[in-house]
Amino acid sequence: MESIQTRQAAAGVSRREVIRRLAVLGTGLSVGLAAGCTPLKIGLGIHAPRYDNDPLIGDEVLQAFVATVIPGAPVSDPNLIRVFEDDYYPLARFRGALIADLCQRSDRMFNMKMFSWLNAEQRTQVIQNAISSQSVTRQLYEGAIFLTQISCYAGIYDASGGCELIDFPGKGFIDLADQTYPAAERYLASSLTSSGNYS
Amino acid sequence: MSAIESDVLIIGSGFGAAAPALRLSQAGLRVTVLEKGPHLEVPGDFKQTQDPKYLQQYLTGLSGDNINFTYAQALGGGSGFYEMVSLRAPTIAFEQTDVSGHPVWPVGVDRAALDPHYDVAEAMLKVDQLDLARMPKTGLVFSLMMKRLGYSCERCRYAVQNCLGSGYCVTGCIYGAKQTLHVNYLKEAQEAGATVLTGIEARSIRSLGDPNETSAASGMSSIPHRYEVLCRRTDGSEALFKAKLLILAAGTVGTAGLLLRSRDHLPELSDQVGRNIAFNGSVKVVGLLGEDLPDGDMFSGTTHPGMISYEFLHSHGISVSAVKVMPLMAVASARLRLDGDGRTPLHWGPDNVELMQSFRRRAIALLALGLTPSSAVIELQGDKLRPKLELTDEIRTYYKRTKKLMHSILTDNGCRLIDAEFVDGKGSPHEDLFFSTAHQVGSCRMADSPERGVVNADGEAFGYPGLYVTGGAAVPGSLAVNTSLTILANAERISEGLVERYTV
């Protein structure tokens, strides 16, 4: 069942809008993959105001969300939940709605008023439950998962640090010796051209 | 509003604009270049980051029915943000015919005709094959996979000098190694007297009088101003430009949009504007490397891994290369799924973390570019552009056959397939094929008649003397390789004709 926070679809939040231009790097696969993006229409939440008024509660719930979406992520890193209040992304307007929905589902499913009090398996079930619900809620959660992942894996707030979890070194460059293999000739297939251009 | 007058007004500043800007300036004409996007100081404005806030300053996209086009909007067009791959289109690309049997390319424009202009373009961009000693691991692994199956593979050609292999080609090279148009064509054009203005969007074109009355004119001094272009600056103010020659090089999307919005003022334009768009048959597959294959590296070395295979050009109409995927793009797919793995959840949670932890060293992604038909369109709906691609049996068969071949390259090397599950606007997996490309060409293509295209082989619009299209919009067919060098070479060819006609 749709929660009250998301039932009243009153505003358009386009995940496609957020990431469509990420797809324009001309990098083959990345272009194709990034095209799969989701216009997200969710309600302007009538969520309980305490989630907006008490940032500590909100942060705790969102950290638990991050830990569930990306087990092993350094959840104490403030950059990982910064994306939920970054006005550049449409989801920032629905931070409170997401927190409220997480907690209401926790209460309904496990009689726990805070999502962050659940164990990992229960938290996973809460998110799965939301994703399997009607499209408005599903799109809210898919958008939140996406932003969590780009925040962590792509290190969007820490270009230098990258993401240790997936061995993404961030900016800078790696020594040439580590970029390639010695005696590279042994890897070469036969060649049809002398220049790389096929006539 | 007073108009700013030029001999030549060029809309756009990418590969299709750079050649006429330089050649016509060198020939002594007064040239003005208008770029919709922001000015870019190269390399100082580039950053090594995955931050969408940075990328979205310069890059945009257009999504519609079954297709997505992506492109840059900045000084230098895509040259600041592409992978630098600079290959000549194979002869077979120029021999394509459409469903009715007509040649896709106009008479006289083929590989042989373009070769001298490819030479010029390559010299300007300092294009060369990637040194084997700098070949990224992922490229070598791909070559090894092809070798084990008895297939051929070539070292790619790049527009780069003194590359450090930082891996951030597509966010802009902060080391200035990439030979973007800012450091050659645009710089030399300005030195020759061209004026380059940024943050100005051409909104509509109007002909002044009857351009056909001036069709026989050749010397620039005898030609009146034939076109005016109403523009909008980024601050919202308007500007008016007049020109004797108007050259459109705003890309496949931008050029079509401008002409579609101008149709009321240019009633004799071909009804082919916005049609016949080729999308270069982009098909991607991903896998995890077999245990007996060495590590690749998705995150270091040139963004394009350096190897391309023409093995299937004649049998399947495709080239195949490995591609790299930076974390942002891997995540933007959102639904990477190990083939045959029925567990849930898969695009988040521990399974996804496990996959992402393998991604840098053990994932391999392959890209096919193919000779698919020029069948996509861009329509103007209100003030919005919308692309559409009808999924014909030919396209479905192409996709199925290409994907099967690419999967066989992976599985015959012991790789495990990864399915990339695309989602639609409602967050559900696409119910049908969806193509996404940055290699769109056409929309105002060259042809032998207005019934089949918008401009002739010289790039001049049917019915509108002095109005030219020199960018990717003029290129009439898929190329099976990256498009930038062919767009530039064709623009050089058209520019040579313009110089001969208007300045000799």
Nearest CA in chain B to A185: B132
CA–CA separation, B325 and A27 (whole Å): 8
* CA-wise closest residue to B498 among B261, B245, B264, B268: B245
For the four alpha carbons of B188, B189, B193 and B194, in that order, the dihedral sign comes to negative
Identify the burial level of B381 via C-beta atoms within 10 angstroms of its C-beta, where 0-12 means exposed, 13-18 middle and 19 or more buried. Answer: exposed
CA–CA separation, B387 and B370 (whole Å): 19
pLDDT in the model for residue B428: 61
CA–CA separation, B68 and B286 (whole Å): 20
CA–CA separation, A26 and B60 (whole Å): 11
The overall average pLDDT reported for chain B is 93
pLDDT in the model for residue B197: 98
Using one digit for the tens of pLDDT, what is the confidence trace for B446-474?
999 999 999 999 999 999 999 999 999 99
Q: Which residues of B touch A39 (CB under 8 A)?
A: 425-426
Please compute the mean of the pLDDT values over residues B90-106 and round it to a whole number: 96
How many other CB atoms are there within 10 angstroms of residue B271's CB atom?
A: 10
Residue of higher predicted confidence among B431 and B193: B193
Q: Name which of A45-59, B102-116, B205-219, B323-337 the model is least confident about.
A: A45-59
pLDDT in the model for residue A54: 67
**Beta strand residue intervals within chain A, DSSP E:** 9-14, 39-43
Q: In the beta sheet, which residues pair with residue A41?
A: A12
Residue with tokens 């990982």: A80
Q: Name which of A47-51, A123-127, B273-277, B377-381 the model is least confident about.
A: A47-51
Residue with tokens 């003030």: B383
DSSP string, B417-447: EEEE--B-TTSSBPSS--EEES--EEES-B-
Cβ contact, residue pair A28, B313, below 8 Å: no
Q: Nearest-CA distance from B103 to chain A in Å?
A: 19
Which residue of A6, A173, A176, A186 to mutate against B (max B Cβ within 10 Å)?
A: A173
CA–CA separation, B227 and B241 (whole Å): 8
pLDDT in the model for residue A7: 34
Which amino acid type is present at position B349? Answer: G
* CA-wise closest residue to B165 among B181, B177, B153, B182: B177
Q: In the beta sheet, which residues pair with residue B422?
A: none
> Virtual CA dihedral for B63, B64, B69, B75, nearest 10 degrees?
-60
Q: Per the structure block, which two tokens stand in for A134? A: 């009607």
* CA-wise closest residue to B176 among B86, B76, B251: B76
Read off the DSSP letter of residue A189: P
CA–CA separation, B270 and B451 (whole Å): 7
Using the Cβ of B460 and the Cβ atoms of chain A, whether some distance falls under 8 Å is answered with no
Q: Which residues of B touch A150 (CB under 8 A)?
A: 50, 52, 327-328, 331-332
How many other CB atoms are there within 10 angstroms of residue B220's CB atom?
A: 18
Q: Nearest-CA distance from B396 to chain A in Å?
A: 17
Nearest CA in chain A to B422: A36
CA–CA separation, B334 and A69 (whole Å): 12
Cβ contact, residue pair B325, A33, below 8 Å: yes
How many other CB atoms are there within 10 angstroms of residue B399's CB atom?
A: 19
Pairing label, strands B467-469, B238-248 = parallel
Reported pTM? 0.92
pLDDT in the model for residue B329: 83
Which amino acid type is present at position B260? Answer: L
Using one digit for the tens of pLDDT, what is the confidence trace for A178-191?
999 999 999 999 99
Query: Measured between CB atoms, which of A37, A128, A180 is closest to B133?
Result: A180
Please compute the mean of the pLDDT values over residues B295-324 and round it to a whole number: 95
* CA-wise closest residue to B390 among B282, B279, B316, B476: B279
* CA-wise closest residue to B459 among B423, B499, B419, B427: B499
**B354-364: buried (b, 16+ CB within 10 Å) or exposed (e) per residue?**
ebbebbbbbbb
* CA-wise closest residue to A2 among A41, A60, A37, A55: A41
pLDDT in the model for residue A92: 87
Please compute the mean of the pLDDT values over residues B193-204 and round it to a whole number: 98
pLDDT in the model for residue A60: 94
pLDDT at position B302 over 60: yes
Q: In the beta sheet, which residues pair with residue B266?
A: none
Q: Name which of A143-157, B399-413, B416-430 the model is least confident about.
A: B416-430
Residue of higher predicted confidence among B393 and B166: B393
How many other CB atoms are there within 10 angstroms of residue B425's CB atom?
A: 16
Q: Which residues of A touch B489 (CB under 8 A)?
A: none
CA–CA separation, A36 and B365 (whole Å): 17
The answer to whether B225 and B59 have CB atoms below 8 angstroms apart is no
Cβ contact, residue pair B59, A29, below 8 Å: no
Cβ contact, residue pair A188, B147, below 8 Å: yes
Q: List the end-to-end C-alpha distance of chain B, in Å, as a whole number.
A: 34
Nearest CA in chain B to A145: B348
The answer to whether B437 and B367 have CB atoms below 8 angstroms apart is no
Which amino acid type is present at position B36? Answer: K
Q: Nearest-CA distance from A180 to chain B in Å?
A: 5
Q: SS3 for A11?
A: strand
Nearest CA in chain B to A187: B144
